[in-house]
């Protein structure tokens, strides 16, 4: 049996250890798009998220007026992995909000609005707030859409 030179033995040992350890390292979680909305965006739609068109999208974690026409949102898609989103209706007093959990698509016409003359959340939101860290992507502790009321002129 021939003995391998020291440098070659060290190289083979290093390569063998690297090959052994490679499967133990995890790759980062893959972010995905939904219904034409790219990660990490929150997209607002004219029409349903299945058949409508995106008219505005957001990814900054701040309180913002809805660009492109408030009170025209029919659907929302939240592609963010760990951030929930509030759509806010500033018309009633106190303001009303609907919370969309992380990785959720919602047709707003499927949700009753607490005080809207139209009856549902479709075409009633005029502001948006994406909750960044330390948000866990849930709405009131659940991964279901939730609603609530907040003081007029509220800002985080």
pLDDT at 148: 95
Residuewise pLDDT in 10s, the chain (156 residues): 555 555 544 443 344 434 444 333 333 445 679 999 999 999 999 999 999 999 999 999 999 999 877 789 999 999 999 999 999 999 999 999 999 999 999 999 999 998 887 899 999 999 999 999 899 999 999 999 999 999 998 887
- The backbone torsions φ and ψ at residue 23, rounded to the nearest 5 degrees and listed phi first, read -65, -20
pLDDT at 32: 78
- CA-wise closest residue to 87 among 15, 79, 78, 39: 78
- The backbone torsions φ and ψ at residue 99, rounded to the nearest 5 degrees and listed phi first, read -100, 130
- CA-wise closest residue to 62 among 131, 137, 148: 131
Residue 2: C-alpha distances to residues 5, 13, 14, 150 (Å): 9, 17, 20, 80
Spatial distance between the Cα atoms of 26 and 28, rounded to a whole number of angstroms: 6
pTM: 0.78
pLDDT at 109: 96
pLDDT at 7: 54
């Amino acid at each position: 049996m021939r003995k391998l030179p020291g440098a070659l033995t060290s190289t083979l040992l290093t390569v063998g250890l690297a090959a052994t350890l490679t499967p133990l390292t995890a790759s980062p979680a893959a972010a995905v798009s939904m219904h034409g909305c790219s990660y990490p965006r929150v997209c607002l739609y004219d029409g349903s998220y299945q058949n409508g068109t995106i008219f505005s999208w957001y990814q900054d974690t701040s309180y913002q007026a809805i660009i492109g026409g408030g009170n025209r949102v029919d659907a929302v898609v939240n592609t963010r992995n760990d951030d929930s989103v509030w759509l806010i209706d500033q018309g009633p007093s106190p303001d009303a909000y609907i919370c969309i959990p992380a990785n959720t698509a919602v047709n707003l016409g499927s949700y009753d609005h607490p005080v809207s003359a139209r009856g549902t959340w479709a075409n009633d939101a005029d502001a948006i707030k994406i909750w960044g860290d330390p948000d866990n992507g849930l709405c009131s502790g659940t991964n279901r859409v939730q609603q609530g009321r907040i003081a007029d002129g509220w800002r985080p």
